[in-house]
A and B are shown apart, each in its own frame.
Chain A
Amino acid sequence: MTLSRETVINLVLALALLIVPVVASQMGQPFTVTLATRIAVLALAATGLNIALGLGGLVSFGHAAFFGIGGYAAGILASHVFSGEPMPFGFEGSNQMPVIWIFAVMACGLAGLAIGAISLRTSGVYFIMITLAFAQMIYYFAVSWPAYGGEDGLSILVRNQFPGINTMLPLSFFLLSYGVLIVCIGLFALLRNARFGTALQAARQNEVRVASVGISPYGIRLTAFVLSAMMTGLAGALYADLNKFVSPSMLSWHMSGELIVLIILGGTGRLFGPVAGAMLYVIFEFALGGITERWQFFLGLILLGVVLFARGGLIGLLAGKARHG
């Protein structure tokens, strides 16, 4: 069996993201591990968005909402453990990541269902804008809601725990995030090739075709949107733990834009597009930021170049056009 070029590239990316931080950690460079964790978590968030955007063609300009809700799930649950105060509805706080993740994913699922159910009645530019509007709504709510820090955000004083792992060690936390990322990329791959993914991708390529074989695109898309929200929310919870902090800026429209940027940089709809995109983005940000205060200017130029001249993103550049079964 010969591996396709894209598969080889994917393997290289996956291994590089694993090996570099492990080696760096051995060499006493924990910051490289932190950067790698940031890459893994952003890639996870973008993989979530990639379900809606890459497979379903649903350009959500409001995925920061889910990223932030996931982050706040982690922050809020942890803060209740710290303060000892009970939460509303009889829930208890938790500093256990598995519990937090379930909460984050459920909360994002519900939010995704509500937002998707209304937004998917529209399409095209309207969809882009209504998802943006919902995210702004949640953003302003978070900024002005005093209970959990409002604009100041919420600190997680001690990183939440995972059974059997010391999450305070940068490398352990990286490996945990990396593991979650790989599992979710696996889920993405399964989803893409299953019946659901077939219908979803067909709905992106040709909505009328899907409807005329008797599949309602609305239901398929809504499901995809919810799954997408859940995965991005899980990433949000990890991101909060990475920074030990959550604030409304996770909900801002710049964040939504950045998630889209990650996908496009890497290659839309590609399995490892978000990983490649997150790597490029974080390295750009870090390297350019070290050279010049004007790094956003150059980031803008680079992005323009990618959109205008390298449409398939990094993976497209290296592996050529996508092939579907």
Chain B
Amino acid sequence: MILSLALEQLLNGLQLGVMLFLMAAGLTLIFGVMGLINLAHGSLYMVGAFACAVVAAATGSFWLGLAASLVAAAAAGAIVEFLVIRKLYDRDHLDQVLATFALILVFSEGARWVFGSFPLYLDIPPLLAGAVPLPGIEAYPLYRLAIIGVGALVALGLYLLISKTRLGMRIRAGESDREMIAALGVDIRTLYTVVFALGSALAGLAGALVGALQSVQVGMGEPVLILAFVVIVIGGIGSIKGALVGALIVGLTDTLGRFLLPPLLGLVMPASTAATVGASLAAMLIYIVMALVLAFRPRGLFPAKA
């Protein structure tokens, strides 16, 4: 029983990590290629979730909604890139932080304007509903397994995209030398728009997938945005591999902390106190891990080349 619970929690940690990776991958890609720190990434996540909920409600098909989330987030990303973001590439991080902070306000309040203040309904597709038994685990939600699968596919896809395709070659060239790529005659502005839209689409996908599991509402992107930043900072900003490792570290730390800290503290204090103190510590745990990582590896675990 205990072993089964531990196994299930490990799987939960992995699954949370994969969800975070979907967010973090786009964020780190955008930083790696354009050097842009994008606080509005959480807003694109929200756009994806809303698009999915609205289309799923109108057509009755989650899968159409999922497609819509990709399209809507990519389109929103491209528009924002064209109107605002491209003016920020040459600015310092301070300006980027501020402008994208302003974008959060615009997106959140804009979404409320259009969709109202109440959470929207979005449910898991029937195909993936319910739980299945796994070796050592009594039952595990099929949808969560599917998320792990999607995360693995996205990781593989990004790897192939970056190492095997022309677009990937351009992305890598853009990372190492912006002027060189311009000299090669590649239209760098278009490249940047494409990369930004790609990162946005990933955020939108994450928003739709997670929205079905959690709740679709204004402001849903902010907590996950901060977690995604923790992920990419631990992993090394700009590194997809770092994002993957960082996401798994954060996912496992958070899940296992919530699961293990209260009983561990229960050994030294009354159970009721341990429950609250343990929960407080668990909430702080990932930030503590991040501070520790940065204290010893100031550029994260897999620093991208300077």
Chain A interface residues (CB < 8 Å from chain B) = 53, 59, 61, 118-119, 121-126, 128-130, 132-134, 136-137, 140-141, 143-146, 253, 257, 260-261, 264, 268, 294, 296-297, 299-301, 303-304, 307-308, 311
Contacts and interface: CB of A to CB of B under 8 A. Distances in A.
Interface stretch (B122-130, B143-151, B201-209, B284-292): B284-292
B290 A301 contact: no
A313 to B, nearest CB: 11
A268 B102 CA distance: 17
B105 A300 contact: yes
Pick the most buried of B37, B87, B109, B237: most chain A CB atoms within 10 A of its CB: B109
Interface stretch (B91-99, B161-169, B262-270): B91-99
Interface string B95-136: 101110111111011101100000000000000000000000
Interface stretch (B18-26, B186-194, B275-283): B275-283
Contact of B109 (A61, A124, A261, A297): A297
A253 B226 contact: yes
B230 interface: yes
Given A126-B299, A129-B229, A144-B279, 4 more contacts: A129-B233, A133-B233, A264-B98, A307-B95
A161 B68 CA distance: 59
A264 B94 contact: yes
Interface of B: 31, 37, 84, 87-88, 91, 93-95, 97-99, 101-106, 108-110, 112-113, 226, 229-230, 233, 237, 276, 279-280, 283-284, 287-288, 290-291, 294-295, 298-300
Contacts of A125: 31, 37, 93, 233, 237
A261 B237 CA distance: 24
26 contacts: A59-B93, A118-B291, A118-B295, A121-B298, A125-B233, A126-B237, A128-B37, A129-B290, A133-B287, A137-B287, A140-B284, A144-B279, A144-B280, A144-B283, A261-B101, A294-B109, A294-B112, A296-B105, A297-B105, A297-B109, A300-B102, A301-B106, A307-B88, A307-B91, A308-B87, A308-B99
B99 A122 contact: no
A126 B284 contact: no
Contacts of B229: 129, 132
Contact of B108 (A128, A296, A311): A296
Nearest to B232: A129
Contacts of A128: 37, 93, 97
Given A268-B94, A297-B113, A301-B106, A122 B298 contact: yes
Contacts of B298: 121-123, 126
A59 B294 contact: no
Contact of B103 (A129, A136, A300): A300
B294 A307 contact: no
A146 B94 contact: no
A59 B39 CA distance: 15
Nearest to B112: A294
Contacts of A297: 105-106, 109-110, 113
* Top 6 A-B residue pairs of the complex, sorted by shortest distance between their CB atoms: A300-B105, A303-B102, A297-B109, A300-B106, A144-B280, A140-B283
A130 B99 contact: no
A294 B93 contact: no
B237 A307 contact: no
B105 A141 contact: no
Contact of A260 (B98, B104, B109, B233): B98
Nearest to A268: B94
Contacts of B110: 297
B105 A134 contact: no
A145 B102 contact: no
Contacts of A61: 97
